[in-house]
Amino acid sequence: MKLKAFAKINLTLRVFGQRPDGFHNLESIMQSVSLCDYVTVELISSGIEITCDDPSVPLGPKNIAYKAAERFLSRVKGYESGVRIHIEKKIPMAAGLAGGSADAAAVLYGLNQLMTGDSQLETGDLMKIAPQVGSDVPFCLTGGTCLVEGRGERVTKQEPLPKTYFILVKPDFEVSTKWAYEKFDKLFTSHGSRFTKFSNYLELAVIEKYPEIARIKERLLTLGCSEAQMSGSGSAVFGVTREKDKAAAVLEEIKKDCPRSFLTETVKQGVEIL
């Protein structure tokens, strides 16, 4: 079974204090977009095998898709076989676009579709497994336009956005999610009120080290986007427009400086079977 695993962007991201489990509480409007990885899920006699067309992607237990398969198979009644997973990477990594989480969600969804009878899990059961795999996996499993709360486990569907186009720009550097939250914690102590000016609270923390993000935002606005913002913990930045022709024109210009740029649009699901 081959599936599309859609990327996400954070239309808003408010970050609150650190929880006892080490994660942060957050409140975010997340949106699935058409940029996607392709994930193939196939049942085999035993074990969990992962292959990927990107040599930088780990292929063992460190891969979040492996973890998703492991957690799913441990919950299935009477199933003692294994799974082979192949990932075609299109979503940039360490970019705030949930590429790994999207792959994991596709594995959960695809495996469940391949099960029969009592082995198939209810949607609610899948949603209980998802946060055990990763904070963005519950949203990626749901997809569309959602309010996401807690550490990511509480996902509430919202009214879908009208058709909107996003120009995603990936700078030539990556941002560690762990570092971004640690930097946020340090800055928030002395500059808490400044974060209310940002739709994405992590921007102030990340831009201090990576001013290129601010320059990309300004460039997108200059080219005609109605809004521009960093997604998640970065490093990807997106510009917004409702007009496809304008989006294509912005993409053509921004790619001259930032070759890893993509034209995407809103989608209403997180995973889709091809």
103 in active site: no
> Is the domain of 61 the same as that of 179?
no
Note whether residue 47 is domain-resident: yes
CATH code of the domain containing 237:
3.30.70.890
Residue 274 covered by a domain: no
258-261 contacts, C-beta under 8 A, 24 or more apart: 258/169, 258/170, 258/171, 258/216, 260/92, 260/169, 260/170, 260/171, 260/172, 261/167, 261/168, 261/169, 261/170
Half-sphere exposure of 236 (CA within 13 A, CB side): 27
User: Which listed residue (8, 89, 183, 217) is catalytic?
Assistant: 8
Compute the C-alpha angle 46/47/52, nearest 5°: 125
Q: Are residues 196 and 75 in the same domain?
A: no
Percent of the chain as helix, strand, coil, to the nearest 5? 35, 30, 35
**Together in a domain, 43 and 134:** yes
Backbone angles phi, psi at 156, to 5 degrees: -125, 120
**Among residues 221, 218, 266, 260, which one has the least CA distance to residue 242?**
266
pLDDT of residue 93: 93
* Last residue within a domain, chosen from 159, 181, 213: 159
Question: For the chain (length 274 residues), average pLDDT per consecutive 10?
Answer: 98 88 90 98 95 94 96 84 96 95 98 89 94 97 97 95 97 93 81 63 92 97 96 96 97 96 98 97
- Whether residue 113 sits in one domain with residue 40: yes
Summarised one tens digit per residue, pLDDT across range 36-95 is 999 999 999 999 999 999 999 999 999 999 999 999 999 887 777 899 999 999 999 999
Task: Report the distance separating Cα 83 and Cα 139, nearest Å.
Answer: 23
For 10-29, give the DSSP string: EEEEEEEEEPTTS-EEEEEE
Specify if 273 maps to a domain: no
Whether residues 139 and 59 fall in one domain: yes
Does 16 lie in the same domain as 152? yes
The pLDDT score that the predictor gives to residue 53 is 97
* Annotation says 197 is catalytic: no
Domain, as residue range, for 193: 165-265
Options 4, 37, 136, 170, the catalytic residue: 136
| Per-residue model confidence (pLDDT) at position 116 | 85
pTM as predicted: 0.94
